[in-house]
Structure 1
């Protein structure tokens, strides 16, 4: 499910989803029993990575190899929805496959074969001025509308996909002849994305959607701060359809209005989180753009991005410890609010919109920013919550102790950051790969960034 900016209505989300799972819901999960013995931290991290990786491996849509929008272990789905794939989560899944190779969950040969299948499918799937749609019907490669007018290109989801593709390209480019050919195939797809088209007639801002049937009627210029920083970096980086620096500074950064002097729980918010007055947004804003974009030492004239993301993480942690609404279960080992399923459907969770629902991806994917705090959640959910939360593809999407609500369902967009960000916290693997791309370095320099990766 797309994480639309919380200042904007969640559009079709409330219509497409009803998530009424209960503790009685049956599950086909075959995960080994949890809590038999205490794992070391390293063993626990690997266990969580491997189980979640399986969402993108064993759980991949069979025709395309891409990431399913969702997998419900209770087998209750919206109509004709079981094989819908999602481009953003597929970008995360591409990176998760690299984690699988490097961690020995699969062989390199198996991983490359699967990556080839994915890229071959993406090459033939619907695109709109080079941008993929948010949803694709897995069996056909045709767009599945996210909403009536959202049936064309989705530049934000495309940017998450391209982030993953470029990371894979860097991983394969010096490999076997087969791997080099796949890297070249990816390079061609990347260069076909018309980032400049999505300026809507040359404006100094990027638009989220364009439809061949409805044109620009979605009318969604993307301004910061939210999850979409990576879109502006890639648009500036494109060697074929690049945009000038003014698009970033005037559109995304709003001529400097993006900066914030607010504090929360004694920590600087750093940038204005769209729709959140002096507070922080959902936790995924610190994840999606940073699966490849390395925030360590990343700075521009608006922010220190490591400080931004670490403070975001710790503000959410401190909020749960403070627990101003006195929700059951909140504390040092149960924190993290992000967009996810909830008892009444899909919802955007944050300190300003707290429904008593914890989403495991929020704390787990924040592992690089707050290792001790993330591990406390990981261990508690794994050892103490048991099969209420742990299934075939790792931790389920969300739960609420306050409402005694647990549901055996997964969302690809939430599972994807978990193995990837844990790996970045352990080895920096995906950060190092993505940041090694010469176009990415050129794009960051164009926008005035500094980073230890820039040569």
Structure 2
């Protein structure tokens, strides 16, 4: 396929609201089609044997206001979906037993989609639980009516969030651990340095029952890595999703913690810089991967061709399976993720929009069920592929939410507006030292 040129007027045209709405709608359908109607659990990916992902459940909850405001499901029935999902999660067994659903208020990463119990000896995940809590708090803030049904949504959501013991999850340290397993105890890795863990600390600080001490946030930020990359000053984190996921819920425009005050920036501006860094890396294309350029970029945690070495056009390449790819320091194997580009729409629409239009012409499923396939690799030729190169065979539940929510934040700011009324978020931001702007 020939590279798209910036002189193409069709490529550079601004998509209409209808174009974005269509992409948002087909992406949203994942959470309607891939949800168990008995309990509200959501498949991790479109493979028929996939378990539920607790993070995907949280993102499904967060998209409920979009379903209502976009006229896809009426408010009363959307409320029923939220209540059923929250009620089931609250009734799932918590405890140290290896087949429980979670422990100390947190949940295992993957659950059996029928029973809600742990599968695969997976970890109790603090970050995946945080996405669940953020989704629960979204519906609690959105369903603000006086009637008993909406009051029950708020009660269930707040109970789910408030029982999480954030101090236990620190394992006698200041920073939060990545998680815990009943067989071996706490995972040795901790949330330190800038990444999607920003949301984790704000939720932990805002808890009315087991709040983190403010010192935990200082311990998280003390290993921040401020760099100059391609002439842009920014707080570095390689995968683009780390600059986006906290922003799905929190409007960081104009609000600053101590670190950002010292650097005369904010996290929104930082994400804008990170988006341009990804584009600039693709333009420079130091490893000479096929297709990279001004309108083909976006490196993140994603599916890949597999753990394999191959000689392509005389060059030996090493490819990866699911891994957190990043720019400009890698890892990089030629895999690009359309979803993570769309999730930067609020930050840098002037480069996101033409890139999305380039992807739209690459037979990646933009107008099909669930929208864009999550990742592709033009440096990995594949004879039986429609495109001639590797394209992810599955859609993933945690990739769909950022597309839906960030398109909505770009269009209307809906999620940001809802969460300004969420007391735990506001309290958590203030305890972390954020000031200014809408705060």
TM-score category (smaller protein): 0.7 to 0.9
Q: Say which of 358, 364, 379 aligns to 1:380.
A: 358
Give the whole-Å Cα distance in 2 for the aligned partners of 1:343 and 1:164.
31
Q: Determine the C-alpha separation between the residues in 2 that align with 1:335 and 1:259.
A: 23
Matched, 1:417 2:402: yes
Tell me how large the CA RMSD over aligned residues is: 1.9
Q: Show the counterpart of 1:209.
A: 179
Question: Could you say which residue in structure 2 is the equivalent of 1:401?
Answer: 378
Greater relative contact order (CA < 8 Å, ≥ 6 in sequence) = 1
CA displacement, residues 404-454 of structure 1 (integer Å, 9 cap, x when unaligned):
112331111112110001111111111111222122212211111124232
The CA deviation at 1:97 is 2.2
CA contact (8 A) 2:45 2:397 kept: yes
Q: Does 2:284 align with 1:322? A: yes
Q: 1:341 offset after TM fit, Å?
A: 0.8
Q: TM-score, normalised by structure 1?
A: 0.82
Q: CA deviation at 1:236?
A: 0.6
Query: Is 1:360–1:395's contact at 8 Å kept on the other side of the alignment?
Result: yes
Match of 1:241 among 202, 210, 226: 210
Contact 1:65 1:117 in 2 (8 A): yes
Partner of 2:3: none
Task: State whether structure 2 residue 41 is matched by structure 1 residue 71.
Answer: no
Q: Which moved further from structure 2: 191-200 or 56-65?
A: 56-65
Equivalent-residue separation in structure 1 for 2:436 and 2:250 (angstroms): 10
Change (3 A) 1:400 1:205: same
Q: 1:154 aligns with which of 119, 125, 149?
A: 125
**Alpha-carbon displacement from aligned partner over 1:69-124 (angstroms, at most 9, x marks no partner):** 1004xx6xxxxx33x11111221121122212111122222321211221122112
More off after superposition, 309-318 vs 120-129: 120-129
Q: Equivalent of 1:219, from 142, 167, 188?
A: 188
2:346 paired with 1:346: no
Is 1:192 the counterpart of 2:160? The answer is no
Q: CA–CA distance in 2 between the matches of 1:374 and 1:175?
A: 41
Q: Is the 8 A contact 2:364 2:373 kept in 1?
A: no
Which of 327, 334, 337 aligns to 1:356? It is: 334
Q: Contact conserved, 1:389 with 1:408, CA < 8 A, in 2?
A: no
SS at match of 2:272: helix
- Correspondent of 2:31 among 46, 51, 56: 56
Q: How many residues align?
A: 391
Residue equivalent to 2:257: 300
| Residue 401 of structure 1: how far off its partner (Å) | 1.9
2:422 to 422, 434, 437: 437
Aligned equivalents of 1:223, 1:406: Cα separation in 2: 33
Give structure 2 stretches of 5+ with no counterpart: 1-9, 93-100, 261-265, 307-320, 381-388
Report the 3-state secondary structure (helix = DSSP H, G, I; strand = E; otherwise coil) of the residue aligned with 2:379.
coil
Q: 1:414 to 1:221 in 2, by over 3 A?
A: same
TM-score (norm 2): 0.85
CA contact (8 A) 2:177 2:191 kept: yes
Aligned residue number for residue 42 of structure 1: 17
